[in-house]
Structure 1
């Protein structure tokens, strides 16, 4: 690579010089890799100019050899990031005066522009995996991509290991067939396994074809844990107790981003900030459920420096570069070191200036997690990336997209699919089953014409059966399957965004709720629309059923180590240290390899609390399984609650042998039975049926309600369970339910090792460490932020009992 010419064309050289800049080493190495014709993975810290490094070869080539054809495709995990990159890329292009057109294409792009882009694409197109997949469903896709030179994948860690990564890997294999000389580039600041990503990026997993370019280390971030008056609450996980201090941070910084782990918390924090915003500072809110107009207003205001603060979710925690942001606040625990590093990087987006961030833990366990996250970031420890085989529902969607564009021969398609690493080991028989599923729905459904999407001609080529199926695919394709939504709008038609149908179904005319930063009153419900008006009445916060972030194994292991190593306790606030000392006196502190299980009476019930630190998802699943086993054993369970650190179950009979409840065979018996009888598998099936194209969400001019989609998928699910239990989509749904919805890997590890590492202590009353989880009993369904004061008061009462020395 060093032998390649790293020099820039004159317009780029002059542009750097005009700013007093010089290209960084890794930027020139990316240029050299391009001139050597190599794919490249760039791993560099936030603020190192990764995006410019990715585009630099493209700009150089388009300056030296101008072309009107599509030259570079940029893939982003977020619509907001694509828009931000376009804004930042246009500035140097305009200042250099070179004729390079840059456009975005996402689900928010107007239809007329999308049509024009296919006929006359820009030289640089910024898009998402889903929009690229849709482009490949058109007859002119081969011509559109024939001269493509480069694909730049930004924030590759955000989707490579999931279903969106599967779709993108398949799309890249397709585009590579159209443009054999295509060069692939991936960018990230938080990659734990560079070789894994190099294999994912390369055609046919040829890791040696991908150059690894690593940027120089930037300035260490300046991160603090905010503790109002040095007090860490016993319970809660929102951090709203610190709202006055958050407002003080906003007042003393130029621009602040306040990150929240959920949309509901973002709305709550925004409202709480406005209540005490005596200086009337401009503050905005941004999350994925808001309307395009609302999101764009917030993004533009931030880019132009018109906001002092923005409350946001993960919708903005990747790559967005707003130069005036000088502080990031994380409400609640970050749940992962990689996520924290990404969010911190939104502040002082420069390599040589430290990012400033403040963490606000919601409770005492979250304080330990926040401290663990800080240490992990300081020591450069990232959360591991787990690559797995590609999902079959995604493969079915991709093959259908290819068929919409042109007929295909099965052997050639299989060879192309295997060029994508997630599908490199795909068996012939499995691929044949995928084709059979697309062709007629499978054995149990083939009698119905509505499932006959493909047919094989006498020439051996597979074709779409009817143009109606092409239109159906383009209208319904996508990997992100959200919960059924209702559109929230005013009577005049102004749209505010969407809320989940499950929450909206609880609302009647006159009910009030907070959304898009406003208190709203329901006027009426129209099919999939919720008509509202602004109100000054007291309103509740919207609740969401979306996936909950669980603490990563990396941070969980560090928290275990903190608990065991008393020399670390001096780093903690007095109340946290006293809490742990009381726990050691009253019960025990578990070692890094121990599973502490406490049993004790409380308020007329018998409780068992297990401190396993395997994350909320695994604990939720375990709670379901243990209470089922308790029922079978006559222990009369009443319920369970869980957080990231512990699971508490309670009932009418005392648990004398916890080991029997944690037996590994629970996964062979209760787990399988529970998943198959619960709604869990049906929900998973709904997702794979939608992604695989078996059930459509939209018809031309009409969108199905969530109830209609659920009715259709449940009906098909019951038919397949009865007549074809080995159906492709049932297998895919089972894999999803096990791996994603229950975090079964961590659950299995917990159960496999519980017996040999369990420390059971029977206590006369609640222990100090049990307080944060015990306080959740009876509050599992309470919307975030509701009754916060009552929650804290109740926590103090239970804590007084736990900390009492006698």
Structure 2
């Protein structure tokens, strides 16, 4: 326990903490002083170090400065997740009886019961914990200004989770609105895993100055790896999966409560089943948690974790964020976390209290993930955390916000323009872009003027308002920027709900097909009213639902750390235990080919019955490698026609062609030029299809496509048909429509990561290039073959194919 210095004046917050045997950390007092002085800022501190009470007690002390206290809500706490919101309410309520006995803390999210919402509509609580979507809904009320003017402090929790996406832009716009209503508004963001702190604070505060507080604490963080007994000489995703089950079971068995994280919901379903098959007696004390499960199931799991009743929970990012599960002793990460920030975030779920150590154990699913594990530890210890960047003026979010503000009392165009430009995301918004957005919500732009439903706002005596009640209702029903594939409820024939599965998965099932979901093997019966009805299955096998967006790319920081370790291995240095275990595979790669290094691009060529294989290893992450592979295939075939098949992973990509490839442009570096890059990237891909797919999301955020009323949602086919129609109409009759431009820009910036692609090309031009002629697939090329085979072969055929390849490779080695 820290001793309070004699010259530090005791505050009510100190007294409250002292009554519980706690002593404030210096960073907590720094936040209290800043907040009572009316300063905004960003608090970056270790997970479990006390960030919540740093800003919450500061907000309570700041309220004492407002005498007499204004009526209405005084503090808004914005959180990215509903589960985190409920946990936050419990934490914030704890000091109220001593420090603010008349205060009430309440929760408002999409899960809030109608009775509680009605109570809040009559009178908002002094402190409201809410999500970006629910805050935007509050702004649609005609009396929004009257109800929210009294807010003097806003806390944005887990700012790193919001900053880099459209939900964060939604928060920026809401904050700008509230600052207009209360110019002395104090705003604080909280995070434990951000690499660009000054920029993160600037994004949160717009053009305002802020105070950056870093809570440096001596907190023990242990990052270790569960090593396989026989890693083998070859490596492809999943090939260590079954081998790692027994060690994982042993780790869970010897620990108190464990969180077992996976990167995808499908993987979570499989590992949950594997644990129960290995230990049937764990039924009831091992649980599953991911975002598609029914709310009641998720809440039961969360409560079981808090009370220490569960032995282990297999989870996805649904439990990533700062929910306080004190009983959790161990965190296991199945597969690579792909990023340092994500790894630290998950590690912080154990030892979630000041002074308690945090431990995360990495469980590799293929041999190269052993190298990733060592690289992650190095990067984490060096503080190499990934940066987050705000989206640049997404016009679909702006269009939605214009209708929101028009509903919430209306707006004067010049005033709102200045307000919007005060945000980081729209600081470079041009007059032309503003006029386009205004015209779009007023009359549907150039191509929708004839349709009254797209005349969403009207200018009445100089103020833009929403006059049509139907438009107002539809807008409120789909406020927000979270757009996912249409999903279907999954229910037993008896009516009990299990959760939701993407409609595209259910559409592929026939009656009698079995699938694994919610930890159960289910038999599909029928679809009725957007609900998939099932019953327990008796068969032993079943498909696992595949949810979109599951695969995460290797971050730049992680990739650089991996290359440094491979360079060390190339010099014979195998210092980390992970590298010692991976040594057979790494030495075989060096024997039959080359090991990639930070300054060298390894290029492998191999000829088989399939054709000419070309392998390159830029270590740029799967999204960039996809764009890079497509770009190089297009450029290489431009002067010498050829047809390519493409496979990629985080490390590299394969170009398979019928005709030999002229490597001259690769060897002289000309194929890596960034000249005419935008044109070549768009030409190398089916850019129209990619843009149309991205436009579907933009159309829903912008309010062009309505997803349906409660109890009567539109199907995915209906939504796709509607958005596709708008896409074609705009292309033919409104080519300057800025939503089309945005769709193309998002494809380049998000799906292909054009900025990282450009940097990779510039780096590859400077790298040495080493070409290796392979007699048989190398350990690094085989996983790329597997990626391609998986698209064509069943599991049984894939296993046979791999067995033949490995047998041939072994013969080649022996000869």
- The TM-score with structure 1 as length reference comes to 0.93
Within-5 A mapping of 1:143-182: 143-182=146-185
Residues of 2 paired with 1:239 and 1:482: CA distance?
31
Matched, 1:87 2:90: yes
Matched, 1:656 2:656: no
Residues of 2 paired with 1:59 and 1:629: CA distance?
62
User: Does structure 2 conserve the Cα–Cα contact (< 8 Å) formed by 1:257 and 1:329?
Assistant: yes
Q: Determine which of 199, 202, 211 is the counterpart of 2:202.
A: 199
User: Does structure 2 conserve the Cα–Cα contact (< 8 Å) formed by 1:768 and 1:799?
Assistant: no
Matched, 1:132 2:135: yes
Matched, 1:767 2:774: no
Residues of 1 paired with 2:62 and 2:673: CA distance?
62
Within-5 A mapping of 1:28-427: 28-61=29-62, 69-93=72-96, 98-202=101-205, 204-207=206-209, 210-229=210-229, 231=231, 234-237=235-238, 240-241=241-242, 242-280=244-282, 282-427=285-430
Residues 95-104 or 364-373, more deviating: 95-104
Residues of 1 paired with 2:359 and 2:801: CA distance?
31
User: Does structure 2 conserve the Cα–Cα contact (< 8 Å) formed by 1:77 and 1:154?
Assistant: yes
Matched, 1:689 2:691: no
Residues 749-758 or 176-185, more deviating: 749-758
Residues 99-108 or 263-272, more deviating: 99-108
RMSD: 2.6
User: Does structure 2 conserve the Cα–Cα contact (< 8 Å) formed by 1:291 and 1:496?
Assistant: yes
For residues 58-92 of structure 1, the C-alpha deviation after alignment (integer angstroms, 9 at most, x for no partner) is: 33456797776211111111111111112233344
The corresponding residue for 1:732 is: 742
Q: How far apart are 1:341 and its partner, in Å? A: 0.5
Q: How far apart are 1:792 and its partner, in Å? A: 7.5
Within-5 A mapping of 1:372-771: 372-457=375-460, 459-537=461-539, 538-565=541-568, 566=571, 568-571=573-576, 572-574=578-580, 576-628=582-634, 636-637=642-643, 639-657=645-663, 659=665, 662=672, 664=674, 667-675=677-685, 677-699=687-709, 701-757=711-767, 758-771=769-782
Residues of 1 paired with 2:35 and 2:239: CA distance?
46
Q: How far apart are 1:297 and its partner, in Å? A: 1.3
Residues of 2 paired with 1:592 and 1:425: CA distance?
36
Residues of 1 paired with 2:87 and 2:398: CA distance?
31
Secondary structure of 1:769's match?
coil
Residues of 2 paired with 1:478 and 1:50: CA distance?
27
Residues of 1 paired with 2:64 and 2:801: CA distance?
62
Residues of 2 paired with 1:491 and 1:343: CA distance?
37
Residues of 1 paired with 2:797 and 2:185: CA distance?
57
Secondary structure of 1:58's match?
helix
Q: How far apart are 1:619 and its partner, in Å? A: 1.7
Residues 106-115 or 300-309, more deviating: 106-115
Secondary structure of 1:532's match?
strand
Q: How far apart are 1:418 and its partner, in Å? A: 1.4
Q: How far apart are 1:728 and its partner, in Å? A: 1.4
Residues of 1 paired with 2:443 and 2:9: CA distance?
54
For residues 405-439 of structure 1, the C-alpha deviation after alignment (integer angstroms, 9 at most, x for no partner) is: 12211000001111212112211221111111111
For residues 166-213 of structure 1, the C-alpha deviation after alignment (integer angstroms, 9 at most, x for no partner) is: 1100000111122222110111111212211221222x4223xx1111
Alpha-carbon distance change, 776 to 284 in structure 1, aligned in 2, over 3 angstroms: same
Q: How far apart are 1:229 and its partner, in Å? A: 1.6
User: Does structure 2 conserve the Cα–Cα contact (< 8 Å) formed by 1:104 and 1:126?
Assistant: yes
Residues 712-721 or 530-539, more deviating: 530-539
Q: How far apart are 1:130 and its partner, in Å? A: 1.2
Residues of 1 paired with 2:683 and 2:801: CA distance?
36
Q: How many residues align?
A: 797
User: Does structure 2 conserve the Cα–Cα contact (< 8 Å) formed by 1:67 and 1:123?
Assistant: no
Residues of 2 paired with 1:676 and 1:464: CA distance?
39
Residues 734-743 or 574-583, more deviating: 574-583
Residues 345-354 or 680-689, more deviating: 345-354
Residues 297-306 or 110-119, more deviating: 110-119
Alpha-carbon distance change, 101 to 787 in structure 1, aligned in 2, over 3 angstroms: farther
User: Does structure 2 conserve the Cα–Cα contact (< 8 Å) formed by 1:437 and 1:728?
Assistant: no
Residues 336-345 or 753-762, more deviating: 753-762
Q: How far apart are 1:258 and its partner, in Å? A: 0.7
Residues of 2 paired with 1:220 and 1:782: CA distance?
46
Alpha-carbon distance change, 121 to 5 in structure 1, aligned in 2, over 3 angstroms: farther
User: Does structure 1 conserve the Cα–Cα contact (< 8 Å) formed by 2:227 and 2:581?
Assistant: no
User: Does structure 2 conserve the Cα–Cα contact (< 8 Å) formed by 1:239 and 1:362?
Assistant: yes
Residues 562-571 or 217-226, more deviating: 562-571
Residues of 2 paired with 1:173 and 1:97: CA distance?
28
Residues of 1 paired with 2:217 and 2:511: CA distance?
56
Segments of structure 1 that go 5 or more residues without pairing to the other structure are none
Secondary structure of 1:205's match?
coil
Q: How far apart are 1:385 and its partner, in Å? A: 2.5
Secondary structure of 2:781's match?
helix
Secondary structure of 2:404's match?
helix
Q: How far apart are 1:680 and its partner, in Å? A: 1.1
Q: How far apart are 1:327 and its partner, in Å? A: 0.3
Residues of 2 paired with 1:158 and 1:404: CA distance?
28
Residues 91-100 or 447-456, more deviating: 91-100
Q: How far apart are 1:462 and its partner, in Å? A: 1.3
Secondary structure of 1:113's match?
helix
Residues of 1 paired with 2:462 and 2:580: CA distance?
75
For residues 192-238 of structure 1, the C-alpha deviation after alignment (integer angstroms, 9 at most, x for no partner) is: 12211221222x4223xx11111122323112111132526621148
Secondary structure of 1:541's match?
coil
For residues 557-586 of structure 1, the C-alpha deviation after alignment (integer angstroms, 9 at most, x for no partner) is: 111111122354342444522322232232
Residues 338-347 or 179-188, more deviating: 179-188
User: Does structure 1 conserve the Cα–Cα contact (< 8 Å) formed by 2:71 and 2:150?
Assistant: no
Residues 137-146 or 191-200, more deviating: 191-200
Residues of 2 paired with 1:353 and 1:778: CA distance?
46
Alpha-carbon distance change, 161 to 669 in structure 1, aligned in 2, over 3 angstroms: closer
